[in-house]
């Protein structure tokens, strides 16, 4: 006769009903095609920079134009994070590994669907001009050409559920664009490699909303839900 093992929990937590109920909740699954990218280039001084004649060009790019460029981001990757470790030589017995540093990938590739005037490329060209002078080839100050990028994962209702912010960003490389006389079967794509130092999780680091912010968000959510109810179900699938 076998001996019944003694465990703190008698039954497994992942029974069929629990698993099915989890998948039937409103939470759903995270989908890779529901995301939002917000690009925040550095804001140059209105007085300009005598060392770089292009330093004020970004001031001519409106907030509406920056938002439109952000919406054209076709693909991006949520970056990972690692812990560098070393062996702890101060203990006896089995080896113990301890953390001695945190590591991040230093760049991400963004792909944008180009508009007819390539305003996406123009934005990143202007951003790069903050890092060097095309006449003297002098290099600019680090703090003058770094910005930030926010990446959000959205649910099926378009609500932000997770987000992170890339810190100290700048466009390290603007990819080339192939042009050809062959029949056009696709639109022009722009590839931009963004360098960054580290990222922060926005759902942890963001400040708590004030009472007025909570009231405003509640009203916004209520209006959005009422609008959503009046949209035929077939359109809410997209």
Residue 52 lies in a domain: yes
- Model pLDDT, residue 236: 42
Residue 194 lies in a domain: yes
Q: Give the SS3 label for residue 115.
A: coil
- Judgement on whether residues 132 and 232 belong to the same structural domain of the protein: no
Residue 48 lies in a domain: yes
Report pLDDT digits (tens) over 132-171. Answer: 888 888 888 899 899 999 999 998 888 888 999 999 999 9
pLDDT confidence band for 232 (50 / 70 / 90) = low
- Judgement on whether residues 53 and 93 belong to the same structural domain of the protein: yes
Report pLDDT digits (tens) over 82-107. Answer: 999 999 888 888 889 999 999 999 89
Residue 236 lies in a domain: yes
The domain spanning residue 88 has which CATH number? 2.30.110
- Judgement on whether residues 33 and 96 belong to the same structural domain of the protein: yes
Work out the average pLDDT over 226-238: 50
Spatial CA neighbour of 52 closest among 122, 141, 123: 141
Answer positive or negative: Cα dihedral of 108, 114, 120, 122: positive
- Model pLDDT, residue 29: 79
- Judgement on whether residues 221 and 156 belong to the same structural domain of the protein: no
Helix count and strand count (H, E) for the chain: 6, 9
Query: Whole-model pTM above 0.75?
Result: no
- Judgement on whether residues 36 and 148 belong to the same structural domain of the protein: yes
- Judgement on whether residues 202 and 238 belong to the same structural domain of the protein: no
Answer positive or negative: Cα dihedral of 65, 70, 71, 72: positive
- Judgement on whether residues 36 and 111 belong to the same structural domain of the protein: yes
- Judgement on whether residues 40 and 77 belong to the same structural domain of the protein: yes
Spatial CA neighbour of 170 closest among 195, 190, 193: 195
When comparing pLDDT for 191 and 213, which is higher?
191
User: Alpha-carbon distance 238 to 234, whole Å?
Assistant: 8
Contacts of 145 (CB under 8 A, 6+ apart): 42, 127, 128, 130, 131, 170
Residue 6 lies in a domain: no
Residue 34 lies in a domain: yes
- Judgement on whether residues 122 and 237 belong to the same structural domain of the protein: no
On the question of pLDDT at 121 being above 70, the answer is: yes
Work out the average pLDDT over 71-88: 93
On the question of pLDDT at 205 being above 50, the answer is: no
Q: Which range scores top for mean pLDDT: 55-69, 116-130, 221-235?
A: 116-130
- Judgement on whether residues 231 and 177 belong to the same structural domain of the protein: no
Residue 217 domain boundaries: 211-238
- Judgement on whether residues 134 and 226 belong to the same structural domain of the protein: no
Domain count for the chain: 2
- Judgement on whether residues 120 and 237 belong to the same structural domain of the protein: no
Residue 13 lies in a domain: no
């Amino acid at each position: 006769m076998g001996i019944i093992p003694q465990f703190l929990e008698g039954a497994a937590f992942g029974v069929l009903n629990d698993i099915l109920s989890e998948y039937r909740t409103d939470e759903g699954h995270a989908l890779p095609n529901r995301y939002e990218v917000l690009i925040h280039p550095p804001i140059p001084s209105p007085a300009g920079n005598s060392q770089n004649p292009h330093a004020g060009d970004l001031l001519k790019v409106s907030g509406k134009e920056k938002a439109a460029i952000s919406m054209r981001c076709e693909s991006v990757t949520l970056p990972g994070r690692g812990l560098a470790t070393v062996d702890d030589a101060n203990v006896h017995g089995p080896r113990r590994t301890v953390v001695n540093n945190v590591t991040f990938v230093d760049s991400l590739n963004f792909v944008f669907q180009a508009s007819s005037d390539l305003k996406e490329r123009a934005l990143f060209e202007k951003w790069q001009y903050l890092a060097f002078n095309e006449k003297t080839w002098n290099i600019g100050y680090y703090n003058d050409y770094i910005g930030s990028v926010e990446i959000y994962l959205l649910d099926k209702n378009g609500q932000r559920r997770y987000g992170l912010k890339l810190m100290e960003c700048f466009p390290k490389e603007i990819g080339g664009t192939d042009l050809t006389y062959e029949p056009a079967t696709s639109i022009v794509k722009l590839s931009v490699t963004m360098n960054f130092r580290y990222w922060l999780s926005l759902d942890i680091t963001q400040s708590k909303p004030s009472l007025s912010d909570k009231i405003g968000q509640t009203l916004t959510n209520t209006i959005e839900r009422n609008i959503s109810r009046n949209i035929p179900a077939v359109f809410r699938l997209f």
